[in-house]
Structure 1
Amino acid sequence: MLKPSETIRIDDIGAPRRIRFWLAMWFGVVVLIGLLDALHRYLNDVADRIPSAFGPKLVEEMTGSLSFGVLVPLLVAALRGIRGLPERWQRLASHVVLLCVVSVLHTSFMWGSRTALFHLFGYGDYDYGVMSWRYLMEFPSDVFYYLLLAFVLWLADRYRQAQKRELRAVQLESALSEARLDALRLQLNPHFLFNTLNAVSSIMYERPRVADEMLARIGELLRATLGAREQEHALAEEWKLLELYLDIQKARFGEQLVVHIESEASLGAARVPFLVLQPIVENAIEHGGGSDVRLVDVKAVHRDQQLELSVRDAGQGQGDSTHRGHGIGLSNIEARLKHLYGDAAGLRLERIEGQGTCVSLWLPYAESRPA
């Protein structure tokens, strides 16, 4: 997932490779056109039983193709410039002028290069006929290649623009998703802080020493959570945060609070959303405990390429009391799971008559990379 700070410069993506590709395409197409035209003329003479040499025809067609190919880079730049003109008549007039200039240059290059190469290869003097008529003769074919190049360039630019828009949309979607996740994660801090301070205020006059101890533990936990920058961390780190939170609650409830955590040591590297267990355990302690003892079981299991986490309390499992206790905490977790893993993760709340409440969540199993 991209982060807002990881902005991709679109113009820099694969630029050298793209330049080499288009240069190879340009050269290959130019040579292929010249070769095919020469072969066509030679085979046409063979079919008509006309004595013919392949060499001169190859020189003529290759010089014709390469002469136009040399103009292609300049022609591409000119076509893109014309596209930016504000008025339609300006664009049309520019196309006409550019086409005439290209055709004259193309014919002149062919005449000059053929004259030189015919002497170089020993084919004698090259006779191109009356040049004024040659310029007119070559003009229709130049019109065809000009329009073809303009159309191909238009298609290529449209495709490139579509890629830019698609990449920009992915960047914006990623930045928006990251911002939403940050907002959801930061929502946990005031939610947790409000609940714990409310618990401190309820005992601060009757048990000031316990309240002071709770405030000290709250400070430790807040320092640990506020320093986090990632949306995920290792399950081992999640256990540490949960232990800090449980220390706060144990200072408040004492021996009335009994929490069992069951997890294999090998699962410590599994990646989980940051502070995903604390809201669930908080709900289990606050809303699922009995009058004498508050039992909470926390379990982590690796099953079928998934990591499954569950928190079970020993409440009555009936009525609306348990439901009211699972408000912002579970909604926050569900939203974060959806953003991080899509349909590959989920959360389930089960209330069993007379046996308590169990909150289970599952997500794709992945391990943290070593630092």
Structure 2
Amino acid sequence: MWPWFALLVAIGVLRATNRYLIDVANGHPSLFTPKLIDELTGSLSFGVFLPALFLMLRRMPRTWLAHAGLFLALSIAQTSLMIAFRQVVFRAAGMPEFAYPPTRWRYLMEMPTQLFFYVVIVAGVWLFDRYREGRARELRAVQLESALSEARLDALRLQLNPHFLFNTLNAVSELMYERPRVADEMLSRIGELLRNTLSASSHEHSLAEEWRLVSLYMDIQRVRFGDGLDVQVETNPSLDDLRIPFLLLQPLVENAIEHGGSGDGRRVRVDASREAGRLTVRVRDDGGSGAMARPGHGIGLGNVGARLRHLYGEEAGVRLEPVVGGGSVVSVWLPARRWEAA
């Protein structure tokens, strides 16, 4: 309300000043006050109809005939109010000689100025509505993209859980007849890990929590392989509060264990580092280069890569490389951002 009032007053003052300076430039200086009253009553009387004008412009049919009718009604109403204001104000200021009665020519004289402001307002309303509609479309597009990305991430996580469960239960089935106690202990550990995975409500959590889930998974595998499994995780407490996708490392560690050797010796190394605003996690095995890309294990890298793309775009990625001397290493990189629980 007050910004509009200030704008109308400013327009009135500027127009009155312009008229006064024109008279001075022409060598016929005149009183400034009558001009100021003229312009202020003109601009403020026009401002009285602005709320109704904005309302009508959004509700009426957008045709030339409708605009002509609205402008004519606005012109007559505004000019009538303006003349009435001037009659009252000039008399109150002791200058009744500057007041004038309503005439046909007075109404016609005001129309060019009124038409100019009417066109400016119509164009402004149209541009503002287009801007608002564009922002609304952008917001809907962002919301749709976010919902789609969320759905894809959920699908990727749902893909991961059955894959992990199938592989682990398959290992249990291999042990249940020859080593039933070991199989029973594995089932107990599987239940604990599944409770943690199914209770997750976010696609990300802290690196410290990810290490805990990896530790639970390695406990399951240690029951299965016993002393034949050598897994070392080099953790850095200063990185524990960084965010990482939920259960991102489990399929990589699983593949590394499966291909980390054979027989009684399987070696896997996991470490994390931070450099130049990037968190990098490496999972290395000694089982031969390219082993993790063999058929039947591609879901690990594919799932990890898809989740990273959906969450971080080009800022994250995953790469499998052979290691000189045998084995392979998977490197995962993503933005080093702090995790803050909701």
TM-score, normalised to structure 1's length?
0.87
Give structure 1 regions of 4+ aligned residues with deviation exceeding 6 angstroms. Answer: none
Deviations 1:119-161 (A, max 9, x none): 2222234432552221122223222222221111111111111
Matched residue, 1:300: 272
Q: What is the deviation of 1:32?
A: 2.4
Distance across 1 between alignment mates of 2:76 and 2:293: 86
Could you say what the CA RMSD is over the residues aligned between the two structures, in angstroms?
A: 1.8
Structure 1 gaps of 5+ residues are 1-22
Q: What amino acid maps onto 1:277 in structure 2? A: L
Q: Does 1:47 align with 2:25?
A: yes
Matched residue, 2:329: 358
Cα–Cα, structure 1 residues 130 and 282, in superposed 2: closer, same or farther, change >3 Å?
closer
Q: What is the deviation of 1:357?
A: 1.1
Distance across 2 between alignment mates of 1:45 and 1:79: 38
Q: Does 1:61 align with 2:39?
A: yes
SS at match of 2:309: helix
Q: What amino acid maps onto 2:315 in structure 1? A: A
1:101-140 alignment, distance < 5 Å: 101-129=73-101, 131-140=103-112
Q: What amino acid maps onto 2:237 in structure 1? A: A
Distance across 2 between alignment mates of 1:27 and 1:304: 53
Conserved 8 A contact 1:308-1:362: yes
1:326-337 alignment, distance < 5 Å: 326-337=297-308
Q: What amino acid maps onto 1:185 in structure 2? A: R
Q: What is the deviation of 1:326?
A: 4.1
Moved more, 53-62 or 200-209: 200-209
What is the percent sequence identity of the aligned residues?
Answer: 56
Matched residue, 2:160: 188
Structure 2 gaps of 5+ residues are none
SS at match of 1:259: strand
Q: What is the deviation of 1:291?
A: 2.5
1:200-349 alignment, distance < 5 Å: 200-317=172-289, 323-324=294-295, 326-349=297-320
Q: What is the deviation of 1:316?
A: 2.6
Distance across 2 between alignment mates of 1:130 and 1:347: 81
Deviations 1:291-336 (A, max 9, x none): 2311111111122222111111111326x67533640111111111
SS at match of 1:294: strand
Moved more, 260-269 or 56-65: 260-269
TM-score, normalised to structure 2's length?
0.94
Conserved 8 A contact 1:181-1:231: yes
Matched residue, 2:65: 93
Conserved 8 A contact 1:309-1:362: yes
Distance across 2 between alignment mates of 1:350 and 1:119: 93
Corresponding pairs, count: 342
Q: What amino acid maps onto 1:141 in structure 2? A: T
Match of 1:31 among 3, 6, 9: 9
Q: What amino acid maps onto 2:92 in structure 1? A: L
Q: What amino acid maps onto 1:153 in structure 2? A: V
Cα–Cα, structure 1 residues 313 and 51, in superposed 2: closer, same or farther, change >3 Å?
closer
Conserved 8 A contact 2:20-2:29: no
Matched residue, 1:6: none
Q: What amino acid maps onto 2:311 in structure 1? A: L
Q: Does 1:152 align with 2:124?
A: yes
Conserved 8 A contact 2:175-2:183: yes
